Structure 1
C-alpha cells in the first residue's frame, strides 16, 4: 500500500545504524542527514523519536516527512522491530527509561526527546529521572490510566487478551497475539478518518508492523507497563519546556485529561488537533509537525 506521504518520504535521506546500549544492540534510523554529509549540515536540532506500543520506527515516518530539515534519530524499542530484547530481566518502565537515557547519551547527547503514546511514558520517565534534553515533545501522551479512558472496556478486554496470550502454550499464545483479524479490529477501532485511502494505509501499516515483536514475554511486559503508568507520574518532576500534541477524539486519553496533564508540568503548552484520535502520526502528521516546528522555532513547511 503506497503511503500518502510517499513523495515526501522518498525525498528524505535515511540510513540505518546500530549501537550497543543497555547490554544489547539497538537498531535505529537517522533521518534528514544525507550519506557523506556532516551532522552540522542540518539546519535544525536533533530529535530522538520514540514510537508507541507494538509499533516500531516506521510509525512516526509520516511526521518526520514534514521535518526534512531536522536530524531525527528513531530507534526500535528493545523487543520490537529490529531491536532484540535486552538480555536478562523484565522489560518494565525502569528498564526502558534507563535504556533511553543511555541511548540518548551515547548517540545524540542533548537531543530533543519526542515520544508517542507508550513512547510518551518512556520519554517522560527518562527525563524526570535525569535525561538531559532542551525540550520534550509528547504526541498522543498517555495522560490518564488507560483503564479509565473512554474505551476502558476495550482496554480491559485487551488485558484479558494479552494475559491469555501469555498463558497459552507458546506457539498458540504467540499465534493469538499475532492474529491478523485481531490486529485489524485494533486498527479499525483507533482510526477516525473517513478517507478510504488513508484508512487502507493505516490498516496496511498495522498489518505490516504491529506484530514485529520479538516474543510474547516482551510484549506482555510492555503492555503491563503501558497500562500501569501514565505521564502524570512524571510531569511534576519535569522542568524542561514541554509540548503536548493531543487529539480531541482520543479514545485512550480524553482531551479533558490531556488539558489537566498540561497543568502538571512547570513549563508546558498543549496543541489540540480536531477530528483525530490516537493516530495523530498517521492521520494528521502535517499538523503535528507544524506544532513541533513552532515549538522548536523552525520555519514553516507548506503543502501536503
Structure 2
C-alpha cells in the first residue's frame, strides 16, 4: 500500500524535468524543480543530498520553495548517477565532481548541501567553486566519532567494514538490509506524528539502499565520517546560512553554534524539536530560512 506523503500536494504543483550531463567521465542524472533554465530572473540553487540518499530526499524542502529553480543531482554512485569510472569516491572526488557539475549546468548558482552534502558543498566552495551564497542544512560541524552518538558511529564503521570484507553477495545484502535501514531511520526520526514517521521510514526503505555497489558506499561512508565542515569554514567568504537542529544526534547544537563562528560571514538558524531530518520533519521552517536568506519573495498562494 502506498504511504501518504504530507508534501505530495505541494510537490505536484512544481514542474520537474530530468536531465543528464557528462561530468568527470561519468553521466550525472539531475532534476530541475521549478521554472526551466531558459526562464530569466529566477534564482537557481544546486542542492546536494546526504549520505546514502539521493535527490528525492530534499523534495519536501523544495515543495516549499516554488519561487526558486532548484537543480538536484544524484551524487555519483547513488540513485541514477553511476560511479565515476576509475575513481575512489572520496571527498576530493566529490568536491571536484560538484565543481565541474556546477560549471556545466548552472555556473554561479547558489550551492546548498544537506548532511554529507554540506561537507561536499563546503569543500567545493573552499576549493574555488564560485557561488554568491552557500546554504548548509544539518551541517556536519564536528567529527562523527566524537558526537553524542559516537558509539553508534563506531558500530556503523564496523558495519561498513564488514559489508566490504564479506563475499560480494553477502556483503551487499548486509548493506541493503531492511532491518538495518529501519534501525537507522528510527534512530534519526524525532517526530511523534505517526503519519510523518511512516513517510520517513518509507523514504528510507525506498531510497536508502539505492547505491551502485558496496565499494562506492564504503568510500562515501569513510568520506562522511572522516571530514567535517570546520576544516573549510574559514576559507569560505561568501554569505553562508546554517540551518541546524537543536536535537541533532550527529552534530550537537553547541557544535553548530561554534561552527557558525568559523565562517567569515555566516548566519545560524536553529530549529527546535527536530534532529538530523530537518528535510523531512520541518521542511517549511527550513524553506522559510532559505527564502529569507536569499531575499526571495513568497510565491503567490504559498
Shorter-chain TM-score tier: over 0.9
Aligned pairs for 1:59-98 (under 5 A) are 59-98=57-96
User: What residue in structure 1 maps to residue 289 of structure 2?
Assistant: 291
Contact 1:31–1:72 (Cα < 8 Å) also in 2: yes
User: What residue in structure 2 maps to residue 108 of structure 1?
Assistant: 106
In 2 relative to 1, CA 106–112 (structure 1 residues): closer, same or farther, beyond 3 Å?
A: same
Deviation readout 1:202-238 (Å, 9 max, x if unpaired)? 0000000000000000000000000000000000110
1:17 match: secondary structure: strand
Equivalent residue for 1:6, pick from 5, 8, 11: 8
2:209 match: secondary structure: coil
Q: 1:301: Cα distance to partner?
A: 5.5
Equivalent residue for 1:31, pick from 20, 30, 33: 33
User: What residue in structure 2 maps to residue 239 of structure 1?
Assistant: 237
User: What residue in structure 1 maps to residue 139 of structure 2?
Assistant: 141
Q: Which runs of 5+ in 2 are unaligned?
A: none
Equivalent residue for 1:189, pick from 177, 187, 190: 187
- Residues of 1 paired with 2:114 and 2:240: CA distance? 13
Q: 1:302: Cα distance to partner?
A: 8.9
Q: Which runs of 5+ in 1 are unaligned?
A: none
In 2 relative to 1, CA 152–301 (structure 1 residues): closer, same or farther, beyond 3 Å?
A: farther
Aligned pairs for 1:186-265 (under 5 A) are 186-265=184-263
Q: 1:69: Cα distance to partner?
A: 1.4
- Give the aligned length: 300
- Residues of 2 paired with 1:20 and 1:129: CA distance? 21
In 2 relative to 1, CA 260–173 (structure 1 residues): closer, same or farther, beyond 3 Å?
A: same
Contact 2:67–2:299 (Cα < 8 Å) also in 1: no
- Residues of 2 paired with 1:303 and 1:90: CA distance? 46
The reply to whether residue 20 of structure 1 matches residue 18 of structure 2 is no
Task: Give TM-score scaled by structure 2 length.
Answer: 0.97
Contact 1:32–1:72 (Cα < 8 Å) also in 2: yes
Superposition CA RMSD, Å: 1.2
Deviation readout 1:142-190 (Å, 9 max, x if unpaired)? 0000001111100000000000000000000000000001000000000
Task: Give TM-score scaled by structure 1 length.
Answer: 0.97
- Residues of 1 paired with 2:122 and 2:299: CA distance? 28
Q: 1:303: Cα distance to partner?
A: 8.3
- Residues of 2 paired with 1:138 and 1:57: CA distance? 16
User: What residue in structure 2 maps to residue 47 of structure 1?
Assistant: 45
1:39 match: secondary structure: coil
- Residues of 1 paired with 2:236 and 2:79: CA distance? 29
Deviation readout 1:5-42 (Å, 9 max, x if unpaired)? 011001110010000011100000000026xx8331xx
Contact 1:44–1:298 (Cα < 8 Å) also in 2: no
Contact 2:4–2:195 (Cα < 8 Å) also in 1: no
- Residues of 1 paired with 2:212 and 2:39: CA distance? 32
Equivalent residue for 1:58, pick from 56, 74, 80: 56
1:157 match: secondary structure: helix
Deviation readout 1:119-156 (Å, 9 max, x if unpaired)? 00000000000000000000000000000111110000
Contact 2:35–2:42 (Cα < 8 Å) also in 1: no
